[in-house]
Structure 1
């Protein structure tokens, strides 16, 4: 093979940063780490693809979609959850502080039953729906014990071809009718909305709440249990025919945070329930930090997080796997221009080693959180700066690092903005510190400036809560505020923590996802991640430390 360096042409890229526009590279350069096999195995319980932003969740969803014959996507943006948020009856239940978890599970179970039946019997219109129902009642004539299934198909048989929006509205309308009937004639003048209960006495509120609660607890979810058994026995009984429902974009803003958490928790429960249909698998992609938020907001008595671990498939990438991914994409970009032989990475990037003997690809990888999107962004940024027809040099890599670092900081703000809206200010606490620093490097003056900026922000942000408690003299000390901010920066991936002089540095993307305030308090040193050195004015000329 020739030793000639590969030169970069204008607009060269090794892929897009989102799976939806990166399909060509995904189809040709997919790195199979064994995750796909586990997801396609309907007997394997792992069905929730878990990972941080850019870890490859949507890429796996795309690969499943192109690998099987019977699957469909269900996008939460298309389910009209916001319709529920503005629904009078839902606001009525919220005002009475009645939990609707069972109702949300019923919604998911109904929607998923409808979708798998549409998929199995290719129901696209009313006529095809009628033919399907005729077949259903032939099963039920053989199995007359399933009375609840008969009721269900009698109720919904002529509506299976409708879209998810219409199903959602129909079920909500039924909830309202049942609530009205249960409340009774004596409260017929009470509007089923937040305004309707404002003028009630406390005793009347208690009475109505008791009656309305009966509606939720009496929801016919058991009816759908029987339906699932029926479908498993008669409709999805061929082990050679497998069906997949794929759910992505759960981390987008398709509902307010509280509603979204309740709906995702209900979905997780229903993914477990649908395991009883052996040839059907519901697969969902979920950001790891969002799952933690779901658990925090929906945790009830008896909740055991470990019961859900068997259903989680956490995406983690090794250095070798990321190098393989970049190598495959580089070959795809340049193969037609130069040679049919394999192109090595050192034909693209500087072959000589930098400083302490570091290769270019390793220089880039240690500035990532070991996620595909990070390294793709760095390589694309590098190619953008190469003059037409020239090669990548260390000078260009250094310039790309500066651009990439700023973009990574912005990306972290977007990724964690819902959980830590104060991040754009709290990250300034470590601007200009040494790459490896101690708590003493943080000045009171800088903390005061940051505290002033975030004191009136969202109290859902623990950093804002700590600042407000400190400023109001509620027993929170200045050091407690620093500990809380450093704790959040660790979780986001900005800093690593050395818990004692005998320990190595821990990082949220490699080791434990979070650390306690006590861990931060006793930590001997902190280290700023190299991906943010340039963005945070960290002096890179200081001695290097190993991760």
Structure 2
């Protein structure tokens, strides 16, 4: 296919890209090509409650945090990997009480509050050694000599902040060791002959378990909560009280493996509670980033009787991108690529790519194959550039070749993103192979579903996976209906973005990355339509009769 005459005297070179998909590796492009969608301004406003950045993989959470560090003077980064929280996971005493049924949520919240408080004070007062710490505490003592609550706060810092200038992981170990000592003392000699670890906690009789829980709760409830509240009040009223001096703590990477899985959910839930408690500090903002799937798992795994999800909603900054914003992002990156080597004239995406693919513009074609997030768009363009070496434009044939690679890679990424929640997602997806891009639920008959079931799940029948359980109950035990099983499977497809759902002829099509609310299960009937997302047409062999 002939190349276009772009009027620009250049050709693409090997390894040309419009940036990296990951913010951590995107130094060349991220700062200069950043598009303000309004989210950065919200983060910068310390009086705005939104401080938990929520989005899918590639929506720009890390990029937003990196930009915040660029534009704000006082930003403290606390990587969870540096907290040495595996010390807690490996604590026999903690594991003993956890397995016995003692809720240690208050301890985990204290841990976060302590770490974040000390980080703030250490940063503001430049405490790097023992002398500086003593000088800082002495100055506070002289100011608040007659204020009992603030004297208590200073005593807390003196007792629990033994070495402010040490690494954060030291403070985690210091605090955990003191709590371990108190918990062990609470058991006393009554359980003296027993090795206190998780195994022993599980083997306790119901009577012993009740006694351990009662004693453990008493220790946890007495963990310096009042003193720490005094510290928070002192921070708000007397230390971080200048509206011209804003301070931020950022925590990213919570979706990585920084601690054992079940403990990670509890620690993240406690961190969310801690972030909420810091709202009282008007000029301090704790900013954390969470993937949607991880947030859902945290809520599911740590939900208790009194849990009210709506009380956290005001904290969430949910990332969403519009089509014009994505086009601006790509235009800026294309312009930078061309400008840094070839020309000073601003060059936009549409000048270097086909005007149309079929009946729509190239940009519409591209964005239809994304979840409206930057990473997808950048990856698609980069794959096109990879096949455009020594050309001065990208042809429709190159786009088609790149799309085949892109589709397969996006399916792999989908499994990686959602594997923690749906380990068999790739197996589920084979149910869609070779189908039309839109079809009714009723188009999948029992024979086809049984063939899929036995081919994919016959070796995993004892799994606690909800889809496998639902399918097993229907096929092997005659429970439920085929439609109810398909509704279960397709709800997973909808959640991860594989399909959109059109409940009936009068409603629109729901997509999980577009809508706050999913269609109600009651509205989905055998005649409801499923639409396979264009991202996956090529890898699933979807038939597009248009």
Out of 387-396 and 185-194, give the one that drifted further.
185-194
| Displacement of 1:449 | 4.6
Q: Secondary structure at the match of 2:111?
A: helix
| 533 and 225 in structure 1: CA distance in 2 versus 1, 3 angstrom threshold | same
Q: 1:149–1:227: 8 Å Cα contact kept in structure 2?
A: yes
Q: Secondary structure at the match of 1:209?
A: helix
Q: Secondary structure at the match of 1:29?
A: coil
1:67 paired residue number: 71
Counterpart mapping for 1:380-529 below 5 A: 380-452=382-454, 453-454=456-457, 456=460, 459=463, 461-470=465-474, 473=477, 475-512=479-516, 514-521=518-525, 524-529=528-533
Q: 2:141–2:151: 8 Å Cα contact kept in structure 1?
A: no
Q: 2:100–2:204: 8 Å Cα contact kept in structure 1?
A: no
Q: Distance in 1 between matches of 2:18 and 2:462?
A: 39
Q: 1:130–1:157: 8 Å Cα contact kept in structure 2?
A: no
Q: Secondary structure at the match of 2:314?
A: helix
| 207 and 348 in structure 1: CA distance in 2 versus 1, 3 angstrom threshold | same
2:308 paired residue number: 304
Q: 1:463–1:484: 8 Å Cα contact kept in structure 2?
A: yes
Counterpart mapping for 1:277-288 below 5 A: 277-288=281-292
Q: Secondary structure at the match of 2:183?
A: helix
Q: 1:70–1:242: 8 Å Cα contact kept in structure 2?
A: yes
1:133 paired residue number: 137
| Displacement of 1:196 | 3.8
| 102 and 521 in structure 1: CA distance in 2 versus 1, 3 angstrom threshold | farther
1:331 paired residue number: 335
The answer to whether residue 121 in structure 2 is matched with residue 117 in structure 1 is yes
| 7 and 80 in structure 1: CA distance in 2 versus 1, 3 angstrom threshold | same
Q: Secondary structure at the match of 1:167?
A: helix
**TM-score (norm. length: structure 2):** 0.93
Which segments of 5 or more consecutive residues in structure 2 lack a partner in the other structure?
none
The answer to whether residue 274 in structure 2 is matched with residue 270 in structure 1 is yes
Out of 381-390 and 157-166, give the one that drifted further.
157-166
Q: Secondary structure at the match of 2:169?
A: helix
| Displacement of 1:211 | 1.3
| 33 and 140 in structure 1: CA distance in 2 versus 1, 3 angstrom threshold | same
The answer to whether residue 55 in structure 2 is matched with residue 51 in structure 1 is yes
| 530 and 195 in structure 1: CA distance in 2 versus 1, 3 angstrom threshold | closer
Q: Distance in 2 between matches of 1:84 and 1:93?
A: 12
Q: Distance in 2 between matches of 1:435 and 1:198?
A: 51
Alignment counterpart, residue 358 of structure 2, candidates 334, 339, 355: 355
Q: Distance in 2 between matches of 1:512 and 1:523?
A: 24
| 335 and 206 in structure 1: CA distance in 2 versus 1, 3 angstrom threshold | same
2:250 paired residue number: 246
| Displacement of 1:269 | 1.1
| Displacement of 1:97 | 1.3
1:42 paired residue number: 46
1:108 paired residue number: 112
Q: Secondary structure at the match of 1:533?
A: helix
Q: 1:496–1:527: 8 Å Cα contact kept in structure 2?
A: yes
2:321 paired residue number: 317
Q: Distance in 1 between matches of 2:30 and 2:203?
A: 59
2:86 paired residue number: 82
Q: Distance in 2 between matches of 1:185 and 1:346?
A: 77
Q: Secondary structure at the match of 1:184?
A: helix
Q: Distance in 2 between matches of 1:136 and 1:25?
A: 45
Q: Distance in 2 between matches of 1:343 and 1:282?
A: 39
| Displacement of 1:468 | 4.2
Out of 301-310 and 499-508, give the one that drifted further.
301-310
| Displacement of 1:266 | 0.9
Q: Secondary structure at the match of 1:535?
A: helix
Q: Distance in 2 between matches of 1:80 and 1:447?
A: 47
Q: 1:406–1:535: 8 Å Cα contact kept in structure 2?
A: yes
| Displacement of 1:39 | 0.4
| Displacement of 1:158 | 2.9
Q: Distance in 2 between matches of 1:514 and 1:253?
A: 30
Q: 2:77–2:251: 8 Å Cα contact kept in structure 1?
A: yes
Q: 1:4–1:347: 8 Å Cα contact kept in structure 2?
A: no
